[in-house]
Structure 1
């Protein structure tokens, strides 16, 4: 009987000391730190915003190229700065896309909207640059310039596919009629990414 009372006393003392220790040293859960970034989670709205910005930039460059072609004024001196601006805009968009991290949740409707946006951008670029092929004799560096556009455009497509797996299949479906122009511009990387 003395043993059971001693055991009860030790048990009670253990519980009391444990409670006292826990009360004196409570566990605190820290709030997540906002100054640490583990990669920005993307949403389709982020992607669409980047592509809308690209469309706006491209929309400012391509009419100038079209005007040079229609006026017969396309030359290395006039075309090179514009194509360099186009390449830079594509590179900036590819960089912005690579700054986003992929997400497994996306809506089919949003993917369709993004595919339509990308297909429109590619169609506009292809149509304007195709006009330069008729004046290639006055633009000796045209092949190198077009190669740069192809590389940059491909980087945008690769970044897009990384974020939204399968979206390039939608884009390719929309660009079946433009595939011939892409071939005439020797946009091999873009064609390969789209599977055309």
Structure 2
């Protein structure tokens, strides 16, 4: 009986934290960030081939491209929200930064290549300029979120995208170019 009384204050303290809604915040890690970008890659990997097929098949139009670009923008917005829920990572390994930079650069390269194919069909896609502007805005938010969480990693990403900078310019993705310093 005395043993159960000895633990009663601990039980009351624990239940008061639970009932007060106190939540212990978990520190974010590079693995959390990588998970966000792996999820984004999964989304872009399902959207971009459809865009490429439309442009290579000559079937790109406002009606066919707009929903896909909207899906792409929504994927970036989801990634931005997921990144915003994380806290900056202080202690990390160089290899982790390199892995994330390679993943992000790969996503940006894939997006740029797919969207570049639409430029040849620009006359049949009058809304393309506005669609690309929305992609640029959403993509830039993802990149800014990454920089907040992993300070300095954008330099690695930018170094990997030097060859893609011309395509980013032709797509008029100025915000993205400026954030990356390209």
Deviation at 1:33, TM superposition (A): 4.1
Deviation at 1:41, TM superposition (A): 2.1
* 2-structure distance, mates of 1:33, 1:165: 34
Q: Check conservation: 2:66, 2:131, Cα contact below 8 A.
A: yes
| Aligned counterpart in structure 2 of residue 157 of structure 1, from 133, 138, 143 | 143
Alpha-carbon displacement from aligned partner over 1:162-186 (angstroms, at most 9, x marks no partner): 0000000000000000000000000
**For the aligned residues, what is the CA RMSD?**
1.8
Q: Counterpart in 2 of 1:166? A: 152
Q: In the alignment, does 2:45 pair up with 1:59?
A: yes
Deviation at 1:106, TM superposition (A): 1.1
The correspondence of residues 23-102 of structure 1 with structure 2, limited to 5 A, is 33=17, 35-37=21-23, 40-102=26-88
Name stretches of at least 5 consecutive residues in structure 1 with no aligned partner.
1-26
Q: Counterpart in 2 of 1:194? A: 180
Alpha-carbon displacement from aligned partner over 1:27-53 (angstroms, at most 9, x marks no partner): 98x569464346552100100001000
TM-score w.r.t. length of structure 1: 0.82
Q: Counterpart in 2 of 1:144? A: 130
Q: Check conservation: 2:30, 2:89, Cα contact below 8 A.
A: no
Return the index of the structure with the highest Cα Rg. 1
* 2-structure distance, mates of 1:153, 1:180: 17
SS of alignment partner, residue 102 of structure 1: coil
Q: Counterpart in 2 of 1:183? A: 169
Q: In the alignment, does 2:125 pair up with 1:127?
A: no
Taking a change above 3 Å as real, the CA distance of residues 93 and 40 of structure 1, as seen in their structure-2 partners, is: farther
TM-score w.r.t. length of structure 2: 0.88
Aligned length: 170
Larger helix fraction of residues: 2
